[in-house]
Amino acid sequence: MVKRAAEQSLEDVVMQDSPMHKKVRVESVSEDDEQSNVNSPTVEPVLSTNGEPNLNGKTWLSELSVSDLNIGEEEEEDSDFIAPEQQRVPADGFNDLYLDTIDRSVLDFDFEKLCSITLSNINVYACLVCGKYFQGRGVKSQAYFHALEVDHHVYISMETKKVYVLPESYEVTSQSLEDIKFVADPRLLREDVLKLDKTPKDAFDIAGEKYHPGFVGMNNIKANDYFNVIMQVLSHVTPIRNFFMLEDFSSKPEIVKRFSTLIRKIWNTRAFKAHVSPHELIQHISRQSQKRFDLLHQSDPVEFLSWFLNSLHVALGGSKTKPGTSIIQKVFQGQLKTESQQITAKADANDRLRFEDAGQVVTEKHHFLMLTLDLPPAPLFQNAVDKNAIPQVQLTNILSKYDGVRTAEQQNARKRYRLLHPLPPYLLLHIKRFSQNKFVSERNPTIVIFNSYGLDMSPYVEPNPKIHPPFEPIIYDLIANITHEAVRIRDDSVEGEAEKKVWKTQVKDKARDEWLEIQDLFVEKVPAETLFTRESYLLVLERRKDGKKKSKQ
């Protein structure tokens, strides 16, 4: 309607004629044309052959039917949507159309592939202009309407990694898009993967900053630092890394495919950003574990590692009873002998842990993926001299739990342990720092002293000449170390302060022979001589192929 001027009354505007139907075309007349028509002589209508008036050769309005004017009917625009014709190939000379609108700085393919509107993970496309996810590319899809509404025309399929231009829907095969496809699904050649631990390689992100592939930070979305340290550790176990980077997992469960994608992104040599986000994998783990492990609540890294390794083993088709049926068991699984004897009533406080010759000893053999090491109890009282001293213990002392001589009491029974040949290629040593009772959780701050190389495990293995020559050392070197740090924070729920757990990981760069400490997005070098000064929680050791070699690698 005509906008009412300020000096006009509302009644005068309402009495004006209603606007004509929008499908009747009316040519606009400028002020100059209107003035010329006033001064020009009146033009008489010309009669047509049937006697009806005709103006300048055009049919008079009376010849149009009611259906032609769409009077009293619904418009077709409101009921039927007529989509433009889609193309399979671009028109000649328009192969690179819209490619200049791509913004690589906003592209982040680490988050879960869900449509931002329907939250569906089926047939998802990513807009290369704004980075958002949309479902489908048909004429009634979310990506199609996004292209029309905000004028974003270039999309990549997150399943096939093909790039399309919408709404025309033709595929773009330009070589300039190969870097985007590689970031969305990074895949290195086999010869390049085998050189990761031998040849140092520097890479640069889209901002020109240098980073080392494999030693990049990970986003801590809220409280998933326990998850980040485990992913960092597993990505530096060479057989695990190579297997999940090179094998095809298209027919495997989702947890295997997402873990493989995360490993390949950590070692990506052409990344747009010098960090990765574990959002896609941890969201699936949250659903599979029924919210036991998620990004909103901090969990124990060792507890998560145990669950994750068993889940990967089953997802890869491993057997629950037969050992060595997956890459997980081939890398970490070993065998342990346990001897137990019931404590009789006649045993006094001095010999409760001494095995009796007359008592019956029960021997069992178990398979393990991780060995638990017990710390000695921290002293309750300290003198003035040792007030600020932190208790310390050698790693070899707490490893003596598995020498087959030391005895421990558990549930009215004395037990002793011994490792059996062959030892696994990689050992996971869990230093038990936390104990839980009915009232409170306690932390043992004892520092474990160790060397980063040259740990001989032969004293803790029962001899077996058929598998391993006697008195020959079995040397392991440290490749990763997960540490715990207690940080005092203000707690408004109670008076005083509370402790917050902070998890970090220390990993070895074999190509440069140096150690780096990673805490979420922060990566920095650390001297190898100071690794034991932290509260170590999980040690990952790699077995040397030549056990006789005792010099530093």
Sequence-ordered list of residues with C-beta below 8 angstroms from that of 3, at least 6 positions apart, any chain: none
Reported as a single tens digit per residue, the pLDDT across 386-441 is 556 788 999 999 999 999 888 887 777 888 999 999 999 999 999 999 988 777 77
Amino acid identity, residue 494? V
What pLDDT, on a 0 to 100 scale, did the predictor assign at position 87?
A: 63
| Enclosing H/E stretch for 38 | helix 31-39
**In Å, how far are 261, 337, 432, 456 from 506, measured between CA atoms?**
22, 31, 18, 21
Q: Report the topology of domain 99-183.
A: Herpes Virus-1 (3.30.40)
Q: Pull the structure tokens for residue 514.
A: 């140096």
Give me Rg for the CA atoms of the chain.
37
Ramachandran region, residue 392 (left: φ > 0; alpha: ψ -120 to 50; beta: rest): beta
What pLDDT, on a 0 to 100 scale, did the predictor assign at position 37?
A: 43
Q: Is pLDDT of 80 > 60? A: no
What is the arithmetic mean of pLDDT over 231-260? Answer: 95
Among 246-255, 465-474, 495-504, whose mean pLDDT is lowest?
495-504
In degrees, rounded to 5, the angle at the alpha carbon of residue 12 between the alpha carbons of residues 6 and 15 is 140
Q: 492 or 320, which is more confident?
A: 320
Report how far residue 539's alpha carbon sits from residue 506's, in angstroms, rounded to the nearest whole number: 10
Please report which confidence band the pLDDT of residue 244 belongs to, taking 50, 70 and 90 as the band edges.
Answer: very high
- Among 107, 208, 122, which residue's Cα sits nearest to residue 159? 122
Domain 205-315 has CATH 3.90.70.10: yes
**In Å, how far are 358, 392, 394, 469, 499 from 398, measured between CA atoms?**
29, 11, 7, 25, 26
Q: 504 or 97, which is more confident?
A: 504
Over pLDDT 90: what percentage of the chain? 57
Instruction: Note whether 99-183 and 334-368+370-543 share their fold.
Output: no
Burial of 427 (0-12, 13-18, 19+ CB in 10 A): buried
Please report which confidence band the pLDDT of residue 69 belongs to, taking 50, 70 and 90 as the band edges.
Answer: very low
What number of other Cβ atoms are within 10 A of residue 151's Cβ? 10
How many residues can be counted in the chain?
553
What pLDDT, on a 0 to 100 scale, did the predictor assign at position 413?
A: 82
- What is the residue-wise DSSP string for 474-516? -EEEEEEEEEEEEEEEE-TTSSSEEEEEEEEEEEEETTTTEEE
Q: Is pLDDT of 531 > 60? A: yes
Domain borders along the chain are: 21-78, 99-183, 205-315, 334-368+370-543
What pLDDT, on a 0 to 100 scale, did the predictor assign at position 85?
A: 58
Q: Quick check: helix, strand or coil at residue 260?
A: helix
**In Å, how far are 18, 48, 405 from 60, measured between CA atoms?**
21, 9, 114
Reported as a single tens digit per residue, the pLDDT across 296-329 is 999 999 999 999 999 999 999 999 888 889 999 9
* DSSP code, position 155: E
| Enclosing H/E stretch for 314 | helix 301-315
What pLDDT, on a 0 to 100 scale, did the predictor assign at position 386?
A: 58
- Among 420, 424, 436, 429, which residue's Cα sits nearest to residue 398? 429
Among 105-119, 208-222, 369-383, 533-547, whose mean pLDDT is lowest?
369-383
Q: Pull the structure tokens for residue 91.
A: 């028109």
What dotted CATH number matches 334-368+370-543? Answer: 3.90.70.10
ω into residue 377 within 30 of 0, thus cis? no
Q: Which of 51-55, 109-113, 409-413 has the highest mean pLDDT?
A: 109-113
What pLDDT, on a 0 to 100 scale, did the predictor assign at position 104?
A: 93
Report how far residue 470's alpha carbon sits from residue 464's, in angstroms, rounded to the nearest whole number: 7
State the helix-helix crossing angle for 279-288 and 254-266, rounded to 10 degrees.
150
Q: Quick check: helix, strand or coil at residue 540?
A: strand
What is the arithmetic mean of pLDDT over 45-60? Answer: 44
What pLDDT, on a 0 to 100 scale, did the predictor assign at position 263?
A: 96
